[in-house]
Amino acid sequence: MQVWGFDAVPARERPDLLAPPVAAALEGGKGAGGEEEPLVAPIDPDLADTAACCGRYGVPPEDSANCVIVAGKRAGEVRMAACVVLATTRADVNGAVRRLLGARKASFARQEEAVEATGMAFGGITPVGLPPDWPVLVDAAAAERPRAVIGAGVRSAKLIVPGAALARLPGAQIVDGLGVAAGGVRNRAPRISVILVGSPELPGPRPTAAEGPRPTAKLVWWYAGFEGMSRQWL
């Protein structure tokens, strides 16, 4: 079957194109209620990254979904999760994801951690076949696509699934606004505060002996931007 530039077949017929946990999750699986069943297509592993794959195989970026692994940390405990967002967006890790995980801090998992925990190749990680206790956060926009191209657990293949199938994955949670515009900004204005404390000397006329020493100050500024707060001492 020709799907965009892919030569695709039902995934259940080509388990050799899938990472072992992905093949196990899809074994015997068919589409629900007449829905198109998952398809798999071989690709050039050097073109597994999203932009290269979309360019070579003619996939619109809005029909390609990325799966990223996130680690949320709180009180010394680490909770892993997967985030599925369209290629036209990026996962809101420090906002929506952190809140949903109830974490103090959230960040992308290190490459070696993601590979070991999923049993999949980096650059091919997919939401299919993940550890059963992981939340799988799916952007509502991805779940609404008629078809979505996702990883197959290896760099040499891609899965093509109905977007609605992403919502039925074990541990799946549909999240509005999980993906934010790639390279864009949130709809929130930055804030800048200036506080004067401590030395150096403030500018102005030198005080007389009776007036005492010149007041001093140190400038501290906070920039509460789109990803959090930073602080600079001058």
Q: Give 46-63 as a DSSP string.
A: GG-SHHHHHHHHT--GGG
Per-residue model confidence as pLDDT tens for the chain (234 residues): 999 999 999 999 999 999 999 999 998 766 666 689 999 999 999 999 999 999 999 999 999 999 999 999 998 899 999 999 999 999 999 999 999 999 999 999 999 999 999 999 999 999 999 999 999 999 999 999 999 999 999 999 999 999 999 999 999 999 999 999 976 544 333 333 344 444 445 455 665 656 565 554 444 433 333 333 333 333
- Domain 2-181: give its CATH code: 3.90.960.10
> Where along the chain do its domains lie?
2-181, 191-233
Q: From residue 53, how far is each of 63, 82, 89, 149 by CA, in Å? A: 12, 21, 16, 10
**Is the Cβ–Cβ distance between 85 and 143 less than 8 Å?**
no
What's the pTM?
Answer: 0.77
86 is written with which tokens? 């369209």
